[in-house]
Amino acid sequence: MLVFRYDKTFEGLLTSLFDAYSRKTFPERLLSENEQLPMFAEQAHLVVTETAKAARVWTALEKKLSEPVCGMLMHVWLSELPGSDELLFRYMRKAFDSPSSIAGNFIDKDVLEVMKIARKVSREREHLMQFVRFQKTADDIFFAPVSPLYNALPLTLPYFTSRFADQKWLIYDLKRRYGYYYDLETASEVSLDKDEHLAGGKLDENIMAQDEKLFQEMWKEYTRSLTIRERLNPKLQRQHMPQRFWKYMPEKN
């Protein structure tokens, strides 16, 4: 069994594919640099991530596949599901080896799996855009904590930078401990050293804007006024509004 070790980055995955074609040997497993080798591994190749090699592979993929299909590959990577890197490796290899696009080959189980996972990540992206709730801080930054099922936050940046272009905001993924801060011009990735002010997904009142609590109460009252209790359907509500988002939504507290 041939094993490739790499740094578990997307550029590293693309470099792995470059090395495989250069060596004319293709791995049966992709492991992290520190992961233990399988019992029957006969050879292990250490992939050194190189931006130039990764760029060449991605450019070649863009020529073989349409823009939406390339987008699906990024969605699968951001799913962070076990084995998703090996699935992408097989898919990209098939794309290069096939004389025509494999995107419509629904008989292939890898093609179907890529579509299935990409749709799940796309739905999580839509949920983020729908259910993010901002809280205003004392220094006039609108803060929103999230914990999406998949790493879909980067996919929402075009929406949020366009929809909220006139205010500074920070959307932070508590699960993955990173986020994006928008300074009225660009959105930059940030990581907070401490998150003790975010107990339960809510800002500590010490750093909350003076009128923020009032606005949250007004939002709750507005929601209550629209509610028709006789037509409440909790099961249907959970289907359209996943419960994992509720703790960050004032109207659900």
Residue 72 pLDDT > 90: yes
Q: pTM of the prediction?
A: 0.88
pLDDT value, residue 241: 84
User: In the structure, how many helices (H) and strands (E) does the chain have?
Assistant: 8, 8
Q: Write the DSSP symbol of residue 42.
A: -
Query: What average pLDDT does the segment 4-20 reach?
Result: 96
Query: What average pLDDT does the segment 148-160 reach?
Result: 97
Strand pairing report for 43-46 and 2-6: parallel
Lowest mean pLDDT among 18-32, 143-157, 181-195: 181-195
Q: What is the pLDDT of residues 207-228, one digit of tens each?
A: 778 787 878 888 788 778 878 8
pLDDT band at 198 (very low <50, low <70, confident <90, very high): low
* In contact, 153 and 169? CB cutoff 8 Å: no
In this structure, is the dihedral angle defined by the CA atoms of residues 61, 65, 68 and 73, taken in order, positive or negative?
negative
Q: Write the DSSP symbol of residue 140.
A: S
- Sequence-ordered alpha helix ranges (H) in the chain: 10-23, 51-64, 67-79, 84-97, 109-131, 157-163, 212-226, 234-240
Average predicted confidence (pLDDT) for the chain: 90
Residue 201 pLDDT > 70: no
Q: What is the pLDDT of residues 95-142, one digit of tens each?
A: 999 998 898 888 999 999 999 999 999 999 999 999 999 999 888 899
pLDDT band at 196 (very low <50, low <70, confident <90, very high): low
Other Cβ atoms closer than 10 A to 132: 22
